[in-house]
Amino acid sequence: MLNNYPIFIIIFDIIFGLLFWTFIIKFFLHLFFSNETNVKFVSIFFSMTDSINSKINRIIPNFLPYPLVSLYLVWLIFIIRFYILPTFLGLENIGINVFYLEKSLIFFLNFNNIF
């Protein structure tokens, strides 16, 4: 599984993949919880993701409502993962060397590959 991908694609895709799914979870949690929630896990999760938002605040437009900021960041990360990372190897690799994190999760969760 690792032989098909260059190491820098793997590293960047795992980092961006974790951020991608973190912001998707944050968006769905914002549908049900506010930032001032009493649920400990959710409040810790919001504080961690807000620290990430504060670090990348320059690329977030000011006109976006706060709950949609996570969707905007998910869209940016998707564009980076699907179009920009594979272009380091050439334009013919768009769609082939993408979503390594999800491909490896599907590979290892498929029980036919284990036995």
pLDDT in tens, the chain (115 residues): 556 667 877 888 889 999 999 999 999 999 999 888 899 999 999 999 999 989 999 999 999 998 899 999 999 999 888 888 777 777 666 666 677 788 778 777 876 766 5
Integer distance in angstroms from the first to the last C-alpha of the chain?
16
Domains in the chain: boundaries: 2-109
- The answer to whether residues 71 and 27 touch, using CB atoms and an 8 Å cutoff, is yes
**pTM for this predicted structure:** 0.81
CA angle 54, 57, 59 (to 5 degrees): 155
Q: Nearest Cα to 3, choosing from 72, 69, 100?
A: 100
Q: Nearest Cα to 100, choosing from 113, 110, 86?
A: 86
